[in-house]
Copies of this chain bind each other. A is one copy, B any other.
Amino acid sequence: MRHGTSETSDKICEVNLGVLEDLIGYHLRMAQEAAFLAFAREAGLIDLKPGHFSILELIDKNPGITQTVLGKANGRNKSSLTPVLDELVRNGFVQRQRVEGNRRAYSLTLTQSGRGALRRLLNVATRHEQRMARIVGQKNVQRLVQLLNQLTSGLAEE
């Protein structure tokens, strides 16, 4: 929290942020954007997309998951998932198989190559997380994650 005009300004900021300075919402947006951009840049270096990470991980940890369930777990509409999965299948990372006993649904699994892509994304993510942990301080990571998780769960209610 900073009061009055920023005498000990952060250099870039001759600009007065007003009330934004103290808002969770504002800082959440800025931090998320910075983190996403950093991750996307690193993932781009190995020709993988940041949005593919959670999907590949969810399929890996829940082999046979269907698209609707995957969409919900990822917080996205099933229709948003179709083109992403099309791409992942085209890349040879994901396999769609009809579910036995329910021929409407697809059962999703990773291919060998998909597991490789996930491993590479995991490397990127791990380095990215280590960098963020260094920034906020190792001992604060769990605390931060817990606060964010509380926020997400709490806001979902009602």
Instruction: List the interface of chain A (C-beta within 8 A of B).
Output: 1, 10, 12-13, 15-20, 22-39, 54, 57-58, 60-62, 65, 69, 72-73, 75, 122, 125, 128-129, 131-136, 140-145, 147-156
**Chain B nearest Cβ from A66, distance in angstroms:** 11
- Residue in B10, B16, B31, B153 whose beta carbon sits within 8 Å of that of A148 in the complex: B31
Q: A16-B61, A32-B29, A61-B17 are in contact. Are A24 and B152 (CB under 8 A)?
A: no
The interface residues of chain B lying within 8 Å CB-to-CB of A19 are 57, 122, 125
Complex CA–CA separation, A153 to B31 (angstroms): 8
Contact residues in B for A61 (Cβ distance below 8 Å): 16-18
| A/B interface sample: 14 pairs, CB < 8 A | A10-B153, A15-B58, A15-B65, A19-B122, A22-B145, A25-B129, A27-B149, A32-B32, A34-B155, A37-B155, A132-B154, A135-B155, A136-B147, A144-B144
> Given A24-B144, A24-B145, does the pair A73, B30 have CB atoms closer than 8 Å?
no
Closest B residue to A2 using CB positions? B149
- The distance in angstroms between the C-alpha atoms of A54 and B12, with both chains bound, is 17
A151 near B125: Cβ-Cβ < 8 Å = no
Picked from B18, B75, B131, the residue with its CB within 8 Å of the CB of A58 is: B18
Q: How far is the CB of A65 from chain B (nearest CB, A)?
A: 7
Chain B residues within an 8 Å CB radius of A73: 13, 15, 17
A147 contacts across to B, CB distance below 8 A: 136, 140, 143-144, 147
A74 to chain B, nearest CB (A): 9
CB contacts (< 8 Å) of A13 on chain B: these are 73
